[in-house]
Amino acid sequence: MAKDGEKSDWKEFLWNPRTREFLGRTASSWGLIFLFYLIFYTCLAGMFALTMYVMLQTLDEHRPTWQDRLSTPGLVIRPRADDTFEIVYTKEDTESWDLYAQTLDKFLQPYNDSLQAQKNHECAPDKYFIQEDSGEVKNNPKRSCQFNRTVLQSCSGIDDRYYGYREGQPCIIIKLNRVIGLLPGKDNQAPYVTCAAKKYRVGKDQWKDDADKIGELIYFPPNGTINSMYFPYYGKKAQVNYSQPLVAVKFLNITHNEDVNIECKINAENIPVGGERDKFAGRVSFKLRINSKN
């Protein structure tokens, strides 16, 4: 009997035909609750939408409002087979270095002179290419300066499609990462890239470098200079055709069959080179090893 009474109570709680209540409330009571929450969540959604709208009015789609984390640009190298920053191959083994040559070919295709002439502007060298906005009128899209592949000369892949790898004189391409608004150098002193033997620890208090193995280097453009006309960079949306300037380093007589640790860095008065905590700020390190059977 007790079980029958409990079932009856549950049924009456779900639907009471005498009072016409569902789950203990009448239709008007449920309607008022639904109306309350409808108004409540509509107000919340409206407040959220208004807040987002106001915030979006303060943003510029072409330039980030805050940019305090990237004051020093990093450097990257090409070719790069993996994340280890090691370039290792055997001079007589075509398969060991052909992938490097193909990687450079693919990377340099957008820098072909014909493509650059179609997309970009022939700028006046040795000065910043400033493109100011006119008050509230945005000067977008902004023009970009040509960086022609032929500037890299023997590292362009045009005269030597193997980029020196077959002869044991490999080319390494160095690219400066983009930082919006960066004006490197002072008093029209353009930034330049230099490469040298990297110091590494061999004991508790002992350091060593491979200066005796690195041999002679040659830079393209001459002296590893990055012309001022490629700065400032205005952002991906504002400057859609921007071509990052490159520096090529050719190793003419590096020691074969040995690891050579190399560090390249950007030199400019207003670009600090990172310390041990930020190893990629303004510099890049890699290992180069050319094996030879001769």
Q: Which helix (H) or strand (E) holds 87?
A: strand 86-90
The pLDDT tens digits of the residues spanning 23-52 come to 777 888 888 889 999 999 999 999 999 999
- The more confidently predicted of residues 280 and 149 is 149
CATH homologous superfamily of 75-291 equals Na, k-atpase alpha subunit. (2.60.40.1660)
Over residues 234-278, the pLDDT tens digits come to 888 888 899 999 999 999 999 999 999 999 999 988 777 665 566
Question: What is the tens place of the pLDDT at every residue in 159-177?
Answer: 999 999 999 999 999 998 8
Q: Are 249 and 217 contacting, i.e. CB atoms less than 8 angstroms apart?
A: yes
Global pTM reads 0.77
Write the DSSP assignment of 120-140 as a string of letters: SB-PPTTS------BTTB---
CA distance 218 to 216: 7
The domain spans of the chain are 3-58, 75-291
Number of H helices, E strands in the chain: 5, 12
